[in-house]
Amino acid sequence: MIGYTCKYTPIELLYALGETTELLNHEVTDFEYAEKWTHPNLCCHAKAFLLHSSELNELVLINCCDSIRRAYDVLLAQKSHRFLFLFDLPHIDDGCGQENVKKELVRLTQRYIEYHPVSFDRQRFLKACRASSVSSFDYASDAFFEAPSEATSKLKELDSAATFIAIVGARVSQELLSTIKEKVPYPVIDATCGGNRHLGLLPPNAENISFDELMDWYAKELLHFIPCMRMANIEPRRALWENENLCGIIYNTVKFCDYYSFDYSRVKKEASLPILKIESDFTPQTEGQLSTRLEAFLENIQARQKKPQKPKKQQLRHSDLFGGIDSGSTTTKMVVIDRNRKILASSLVSTGAQTQKSAQKALQETCRQLDIEPVDLASIVSTGYGRNNIAFATDSKTEITCHAKGAFFLDPTIRTIVDIGGQDSKIIRIDNQGSVVNFVMNDKCAAGTGRFLEMMARALELDIDNMVRTGLAWKSDLTISSMCTVFAESEVVSLIADNRSIADIVHGLNKSIASRITSMISRAGGQAPYMMTGGVARNTGVVRELEIKLGERLIISEIPELCGALGAALSALELMEG
């Protein structure tokens, strides 16, 4: 069994040499092993690969990027693989490039035969090449080579599907791919640089031509794959987002892989489809955040296809009251409106350890204010992290949709919503109808979230309210340059040791958060007027710095933390109105 990690690996040739192959793109729980040998800032796929590579004795790698080249150097130094080959793939796909690929194919064949005396089996090679030419997408595998008819029918079914979703960008782990396939009600294809292999038709005389001529053809075909970002000519990548049956793109980037952020900017500019960007690091994803993003993405696709989603359960109750509940990581908020969209009651409780319990508490509090029973509410829509765990909700919507709806209702002139929550930050761009056009969320890093402020307040031995007040009295303009929360905390500790005033430090932190958020706004293509929602909107220091950085005033409603719940309540009303 030969392990590999790049789509340019000549797996049909290895199959012809009697070998089976395995794509090594599984997640790991930690990077302890890889970081012992390399560095924490190496691409997370390469680090995960280093651990999995020890499961096999034979590997064929492509010099596809700096990180994989260094992973190869480590494996070479370890001397623990019986067969280790680095295929020197050119960056250019012209005649000289093809000649170089052919030389590498011949060199690989010779090296392998020296290691394991076998001969090149032409029939196996042709069989594998035929299997790899049946579909434009998904990587070929030994199973496909062995049962080409089954593979063909499966892939043809996919190719002829009415609509499908493509995962584009950097390698997606098998685990993440499976999760996405489970959660998305469309066929999903892997068009990342781990999949997306397609050979053309074999030459008519393939049975009879010499090995050299066969390798000429094979080299040309390998170089004609839809290119990955390391290749010089990336124009053919357009085929990935110009397919007319494609209804949405999930764009995957991998932490510390720099290739695909450039491609993403281009895809975002050129493709007129809903795009969801995710950043993975080859460790298990945070289930909640991934679900939120996928659901918002699907809502966007469905809105474009004008196929409104049916409510999960229709429970017609009282005809005039509609509830929205936003179960966030720090607080749970509830809003009740009437048919005229007037807010009648609201509540805000701490979420604590049990989502369901705090949701019940918020519901009871709101009902108490109106002197009604929960059953008097015609419908309730839940949103926020805990939205799927609220049993009494009629339906659920993501916080992206709900914040957009709530903010647009409060002020229809706004075009961008800046929501800084306890655990994540979101920038949502909407059009003049209030529909979501684009959104960006922070990734696993806490920088730019309410949590960041909480951690810094703890380092300064202040509570949040005190922190806000103290920061307004700054005198010396101080910059916290570190973008990472952990670095920033140590920078704060150093500044305290340098006797810098707490007010100046808080002001520096506010600037740092504003810088982070401004960068997200740019990525989302944010446009004025801006509305800020979420609890941090009450932090005057952060608001002021953000306004300076944007050069625009931020609209802040009287109920910034209730915006998501309000949007959910409006969704509950729409649900009943059909």
Partner 1 sequence: MNSIVHRFGRAVSSQVPQNPQLSRNILAAGYTLSGWKDAYFGGKGLKGVYAHMNAAISRNMSHSFRDSSRSAMVNIFFPCEILYAMDIAPVFPEALSVYIVNSDCGEVFAESAEAIGISESLCSYHKIMIGTARTGVLPKPLLIANTTLACDANQLSFRYLAEEYGSPHFIVDVPHTVNKESVHYVASQLKNFTVLLEDLLHSSMSESKLRYTVDRANRTIKAYREYLNIRARTSLPISMTGELFSLVATHVFLGTPESEQYAIAIKELAQKASPDRRKKRILWLHTLPNWQDSIRVLLENNERTEILASDMTYDTLIDMDPEKPYESMAERLVYNINNGGAQRRIDAAIAYAKKLHADGVIVFGQWGCKQTMGMSQLAKMALEEEGFPTLVLDGDGCDPRNVADGQMATRVNAFLEQLEASR
Taking the complex as a whole, how short is the minimal distance between the CB of residue 429 and partner 1, in angstroms? Answer: 14
Q: Which residues make Cβ contacts (< 8 Å) with residue 315, sequence separation at least 6?
A: 379, 394
Residue reference for tokens 């801006």: 530
What is the rounded CA–CA span in Å between residue 63 and residue 100?
A: 13
Q: Which residues contact 465 (CB under 8 A, 6 or more apart)?
A: none
Residues across the chain: 578
Question: Quick one: 58 or 491, whose CB is closer to partner 1?
Answer: 491
E strands, 328-480, in order: 331-337, 343-350, 379-383, 395-396, 416-420, 425-430, 436-441
* Closer by beta carbon to partner 1, 224 or else 538: 224
- State which residue, 129 or 167, has the beta carbon closest to partner 1: 167
CA nearest to 381, candidates 312, 303, 300: 312
**What's the closest the beta carbon of residue 302 comes to partner 1, in angstroms?**
26
Minimal distance in Å, beta carbon 551 to partner 1?
Answer: 8
By beta-carbon proximity to partner 1, the closer residue of 405 and 507 is: 507
In whole angstroms, the minimum distance from the beta carbon of 251 to partner 1 comes to 10
Nearer to partner 1, 28 or 170 (CB): 170
Nearer to partner 1, 244 or 477 (CB): 477
Which residue, 303 or 528, has its beta carbon nearer to partner 1? 528
CB of 519 to partner 1, least distance (A): 5
Distance between start and end Cα atoms, the chain: 57
> Which of 305-312's residues contact partners 24+ apart within 8 Å by CB, and which partners?
305/247, 311/379, 311/394, 311/395, 311/575, 312/394, 312/395, 312/396
CA angle 485, 490, 494 (to 5 degrees): 140
Least separation in angstroms between residue 503's CB and partner 1 is 21
Nearest approach in angstroms of CB 512 to partner 1 is 9
**What are 487's two structure tokens?**
């670095």
In the complex, least distance from residue 569 CB atom to partner 1, rounded to whole angstroms? 34
Minimum gap (Å) between residue 66 Cβ and partner 1: 4
Q: Give the list of residues 6+ apart from residue 492 with CB closer than 8 angstroms, or none.
A: 456, 459, 460, 480, 505, 509
Toward partner 1, which CB reaches closer, 47 or 387?
47
Token pair belonging to 367: 């009902």
- Is 314 or 494 the residue whose CB approaches partner 1 more closely? 494
**3-state SS, residue 349:** strand
Q: Closest separation between CB of residue 65 and partner 1, Å?
A: 5
Which residue, 160 or 494, is less far from partner 1 as judged by CB?
494
Non-local CB neighbours of 412 within 8 Å, separated by 6+ positions: 432, 434
Cβ-proximal residues to 218 (8 Å cutoff; 6+ apart), any chain: 10, 12, 13, 102, 105, 129, 199
Smallest gap from residue 449 Cβ to partner 1 (A): 16
* DSSP conformation class of 438: E
Give the integer Cα–Cα distance in Å for 179 and 188. Answer: 11
CB nearer to partner 1: pick between 104 and 424: 104
Residue 459 Cβ vs partner 1, minimum distance, rounded to whole Å: 14
* Binding positions for partner 1, rule: CB under 8 A: 36-39, 41-43, 46, 63, 65-67, 69-74, 76-77, 86, 88, 90-92, 96-97, 100, 229-230, 232, 234, 253, 255-259, 261-262, 264-265, 268, 481-483, 487, 490-491, 494, 515, 518-519, 522-523, 551
CA distance 518 to 546: 7
Residue that has been written with the tokens 């020197």 in this structure: 88
Using an 8 Å Cβ cutoff, are 215 and 105 in contact? yes
- Residue 42 or 460: which CB sits closer to partner 1? 42
Give the pairing of strands 58-62 and 188-192. unpaired
Strand partners for 532: 418
Of the candidates 312, 449, 319, 283, the residue with the CA atom closest to the CA atom of residue 382: 312
In the complex with partner 1, the residue whose CB is nearer, 37 or 115, is 37
DSSP type of residue 553: P
- Pairing of β 530-533 and β 416-420: parallel
Nearest-approach distance from CB 496 to partner 1, in angstroms? 12
Contact between 277 and 254 under an 8 Å Cβ cutoff? The reply is no
| DSSP-based three-state secondary structure for 85 | strand
Which DSSP state fits 245?
T
- Residue 577 in tokens: 């109105």
Q: Is the CB of 38 or the CB of 346 nearer to partner 1?
A: 38
Gap between the Cα atoms of 386 and 396, Å rounded: 10
Residue 494 CB, shortest distance to partner 1, in Å, is 5
